């Protein structure tokens, strides 16, 4: 099966902390992503949201739009209200040919609050699950009917963070709810990405590949850092530069016949981690690690 290797602009400029890389022009990000070998890129806060404006910009750099993050609030509003709220985002992804939407429930979340320890994040009660899971499924069915699959993103500091919570979401929904496997977030939460991949390989619709620096993670846990303080300190890095066993995590995905994007998505402070240097490293390492995991051809590889 063929896969494609993409990236996320978060290595150049950060959406949750706009001061990180805030001075970096979008053109620099796109040119360097292409130079590093990537075939596509996800949305960031500097991208125009009009497909007629975005399409020629990406075409100039020979990049496809992989996907884009969407912050949902389904604990506070109905599925129908969420569908109406996300329609412009869905319309953009559909117009740009993106196969999936990165979707995350962010009600009550603490990941964007720098002064709040990430271990104080909210945990759902049974009644919350009974409300949230059917609403996510309804939204996912609407997305599928529009031609864009849901890629649910478990994320540090949110109500669905751990492997057990991923398991529960998968059990309470059907195949319309696709899963985004994020190696970095599962490792940060204390879980094994390979075990999650083995259990849910058939549901995985998107993959974020980021590595974890074990020494920084130990400090983040021991000193009860916020998620953003952990990022600034360098808890995440590109594949092959940390402690994640990528062949083990990606092998079940390959064995399930996955043929989508593998995305290098490693948020770092660009003043500490030179974006082009790490982009090149991430692309080179991920191509090798994907091959070791059993993936075959890489479509449109520009290494």
User: 244-285, pLDDT tens digit by residue?
Assistant: 999 999 999 999 999 999 999 999 999 999 999 999 999 999
DSSP string, 158-175: SSS-SHHHHHHHHHHS-T
User: 212-233, pLDDT tens digit by residue?
Assistant: 999 999 999 999 999 999 999 9
Q: Dihedrals φ, ψ of 26, to 5°?
A: -55, -40
Res. 1 pLDDT band, cuts 50 70 90: low
The pLDDT of residue 303 is 45
Strands (E), the chain: 4-7, 40-41, 64-65, 69-72, 100-105, 149-153, 179-182, 204-209, 211-212, 236-237, 261-264
pLDDT at 302 over 70: no
Between CA 6 and CA 38 the distance in angstroms is: 5
- Average pLDDT on 61-74 reads 98
What does pTM read for this prediction?
0.96
The pLDDT of residue 13 is 87
| Mean pLDDT across the chain | 95
Helix (H, G, I), strand (E, B) or coil at 53: helix
User: 80-105, pLDDT tens digit by residue?
Assistant: 999 999 999 999 999 999 999 999 99
User: 104-138, pLDDT tens digit by residue?
Assistant: 999 999 999 998 999 999 999 999 999 999 999 99
The pLDDT of residue 19 is 81
pLDDT at 15 over 90: no
CA-angle at 277, arms to 275 and 281, nearest 5°: 115
Between CA 299 and CA 4 the distance in angstroms is: 5
- Angstrom distances, CA of residue 284 to CA of 42, 233, 263: 19, 24, 12
Between CA 23 and CA 271 the distance in angstroms is: 11
Phi-psi region of 37 (alpha: psi -120 to 50; beta: other; left: phi over 0): left
Q: Which of 91, 64, 72 is nearest to 132 (CA)?
A: 72
The domains of the chain, with CATH numbers, are 4-293 (3.20.20.150)
Q: Which of 149, 131, 138 is nearest to 83 (CA)?
A: 138
Tokens (6 digits) for 38? 């990537």
């Amino acid at each position: 099966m063929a896969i494609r290797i993409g990236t996320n602009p978060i290595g150049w400029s950060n959406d949750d902390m706009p001061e990180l890389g805030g001075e970096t022009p979008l053109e620099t990000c796109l040119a360097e992503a292409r130079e590093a070998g990537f075939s596509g890129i996800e949305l960031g806060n500097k991208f125009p949201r009009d497909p007629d404006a975005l399409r020629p910009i990406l075409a100039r750099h020979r990049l496809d739009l992989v996907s884009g993050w969407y912050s949902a609030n389904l604990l506070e509003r109905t599925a129908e209200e969420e569908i109406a709220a996300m329609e412009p985002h869905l319309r953009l992804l559909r117009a740009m040919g993106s196969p999936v939407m990165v979707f995350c429930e962010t009600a009550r979340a603490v990941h964007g609050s720098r002064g709040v320890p990430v271990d104080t994040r909210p945990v759902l009660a049974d009644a919350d699950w009974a409300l949230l899971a059917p609403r996510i499924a309804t939204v996912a069915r609407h997305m599928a009917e529009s031609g864009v699959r849901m890629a649910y993103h478990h994320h540090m500091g949110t109500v669905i963070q751990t492997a057990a919570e991923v398991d529960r979401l998968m059990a309470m929904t059907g195949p319309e709810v696709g899963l985004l496997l994020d190696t970095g977030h599962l490792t940060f939460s204390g879980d094994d990405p390979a075990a999650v991949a083995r259990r849910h390989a058939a549901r995985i619709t998107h993959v974020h590949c980021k590595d974890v620096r074990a020494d920084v993670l130990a400090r983040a846990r021991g000193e009860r850092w916020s998620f953003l303080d952990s990022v600034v300190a360098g808890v995440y890095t590109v594949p092959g530069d940390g402690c994640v066993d990528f062949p083990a995590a990606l092998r079940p995905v390959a064995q399930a016949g996955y043929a989508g994007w593998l995305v290098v998505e490693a948020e770092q402070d660009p003043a500490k981690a030179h974006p082009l240097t790490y982009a090149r490293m991430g692309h080179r390492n991920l191509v090798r690690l994907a091959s070791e995991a059993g993936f075959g051809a890489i479509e449109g590889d520009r290494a």
